[in-house]
Amino acid sequence: MLAQIFAVVAPVLLIAGLGYLWAKRGAPFDNATISGLVMNLGSPCLIFSSLTRIALDPAAFTGVLLASIGVLSLCLVLGILLLKAMDKPLTTFLPSLVHPNTGNMGLPLALMAFGETGLALAISYFFINSVSQYTLGLSISSGRFSPAQLLRQPIIWAVAAALLFRWTGADVPPVIGSTTALVGGLVIPAMLLMLGNSLASLHVASLPTAAIIAVARLAFGFLAGLSMIWLLDLDGMVAGVVIMQATMPAAVFNYVFAERFGREPEKVAAVILLSTLISFATLPFLVAYAMNLP
């Protein structure tokens, strides 16, 4: 069992570590370009390819979607209560408590732990989290709601196209299937390299507060994930994917919004860095728990 857990966790840590060392050596790494390729090209292709190619039980797919919405909602409520008790600004810290790193870390872990079927389920969780980031997260950070921003995200149209093919039963043309599979293949390693590179370049501040919120991000996610598993009566791989995705550290994208809207980005960076470091230490236990859920 230890060897199996190591086989899941080690590639994630090693590739992220390579991104970190690359940045520390001062080697060129255009994060903006790579991030744009991953979010606007690679991720939509991965989503379309996975959802059209991999056979998914509709009940499992629906369970993950409902669980992801429930986890986000619970974390939102718990996050508001915590920040009100601490007298800390919601605009700075709430997005980090609500939105975990379901992409850079969650997708690779699901693939390593549960194979392509687990990856497809994790992608559905990642999709809901991404929609929430571009609506709720953007609204909290900016102070205004912008649905037009969501409609400009390619992953929305990739999911819509994939669901259209599945609902109609139409076959994906081979050239489209092969192309999206090839382009989607760049996403997992690129995300991990970006994660390591981003962690190396974050400028942190206010560590005591960040430490509390970092621990809360992981604890709230785990508790919310368990609640949804119990409430929706999830089991096996579906429950494993839900608990892993729910318990990921704060997403790096929270820092992007904080910097863009002047919401104390150094403090947000500290939350992301600390929650990720804590997560690295707890990953073997989380993976073991997720892979052994009945």
| pLDDT tens profile 38-71 | 888 998 999 899 889 888 788 999 999 999 999 9
CA-based nearest residue to 237, from 110, 127, 135, 138: 110
| pLDDT value for 67 | 98
The three-state secondary structure class of 202 is coil
Relative orientation angle of helices 58-86 and 207-231, to the nearest 10 degrees: 140
- Number of H helices and E strands in the chain, helices first, is 15, 0
Residue 28 CA to chain centroid, in angstroms? 25
pLDDT beyond 80 at 18 = yes
CATH no. of 2-7+30-291: 1.20.1530.20
Q: What is the pLDDT of residues 158-180, one digit of tens each?
A: 989 998 998 898 999 999 999 99
- Residue reference for tokens 């992409």: 103
Give residue 91's pLDDT: 92
Between helices 265-291 and 90-98, what is the axis angle to 10°?
20
Stretch 191-216: mean pLDDT: 87
pLDDT tens for 244-268 read 999 999 998 888 788 878 888 889 9
What does the domain layout of the chain look like in residue ranges?
2-7+30-291
As given in the structure block, the two tokens for residue 251 are 């997403």
Tokens 């008790």 belong to which residue?
85
Residue 1 scores a pLDDT above 80: no
> pTM for the complete prediction?
0.89
**231-246 average pLDDT score:** 96
Range 1-21 average pLDDT: 84
Q: Calculate what percentage of the chain has a pLDDT beyond 70.
A: 98
Cβ neighbours around 48 below 10 Å, total: 29
Backbone phi, psi, residue 100, to 5° = -85, 175
Give phi and psi for 202, each to the nearest 5: -70, 140
Average pLDDT over residues 68-97: 96
Highest mean pLDDT (candidates 41-50, 79-88, 278-287): 79-88
* pLDDT tens for each residue of 119-162: 999 999 999 998 898 888 888 887 777 667 777 888 889 989 99
pLDDT band at 220 (very low <50, low <70, confident <90, very high): very high
